[in-house]
Amino acid sequence: MTNEKNRHVIPGEVIVSGQYRAEQNTVLDGDKVLATVIGLSDIHDGNVRVIPLTGGYYPKDDDLVVGKIASHSAMSWEVDINSCYAGMLPATDVFGRDFSSHSDDLSSKLKNGDLIVARIVNADKTRDPLLTISGRELGTIDSGELIEFSPSKVPRLIGKRGSMIQMIEGATGAQIIIGQNGMLVVSCDDPNGLLKAIQAIELVEEKVHVANLTDLVNEMLESKGE
């Protein structure tokens, strides 16, 4: 079976025909596998998928997201997670099991506009995705620069096994929290490092489909480093 990478496809385009499994962003029509979005096709061990180059964020279980508190009811917070579905953060997740809607005030812990790093516990689309902020590396964000990035380009920003993001962090000294939903928080003690990290992120967004992107970003990081 052939392994083929990175062919540019548009919706409806036949990626391959024969005995293949249609995975993310593809659909089967007889024995033909068609792309459903604009992106790069990837055939691996008989599995065909398309890595999208455009489109919004659709919550998946276990995704790490950065969200902004939008409002709250008596029992939960509604969180803007840059998606067509609003995230739901239950009050019990923050107050613990002895939460009482009579005595506890939700706005005392998280106010509208607060940023959080959360994990998606349950996203079945029949209901709004359920979030949690209890866990390692989860919780509120106190400082940093919020950047809105294109969600479909997040995998490219992370790179293979985190290579791209590690390179940017290493060269600038910045800490970058990447939400799968395309919301990023960059923090750095050195203002120049912060600026450079943001420029590098913007470069990735702009040149997302270029093959030697890592070299390009490396070049940019080094050239302005002196």
Name the one range near another protein by CB under 8 A: 67-75, 154-162, 186-194, 203-211.
203-211
φ, ψ at 173 (rounded to 5°): 75, 15
Q: 52 or 179: whose CB is closer to another protein?
A: 52
Element (H, E) at 120: strand 115-122
Please count the other Cβ atoms lying within 10 Å of the Cβ belonging to residue 68. 17
Q: Are 80 and 71 in contact (CB under 8 A)?
A: no
| Tokens describing residue 8 | 């540019």
Q: Vertex 39, ends 204 and 19: CA angle to 5°?
A: 140
Q: Which residue among 1, 62, 75, 84 contacts another protein (CB under 8 A)?
A: 84
Site for another protein contains 11 (CB under 8 A): yes
| Tokens describing residue 190 | 């050195």
3 state SS of 196: helix
Site for another protein contains 38 (CB under 8 A): yes
Site for another protein contains 146 (CB under 8 A): no
Q: Which residue among 3, 18, 31, 56 contacts another protein (CB under 8 A)?
A: 56
Site for another protein contains 27 (CB under 8 A): yes
Task: Please give the residue ranges that form the binding site for another protein (CB under 8 A).
Answer: 6-8, 10-14, 25, 27, 29, 34, 36-38, 52-56, 58, 84-85, 125-126, 152, 207, 209-211
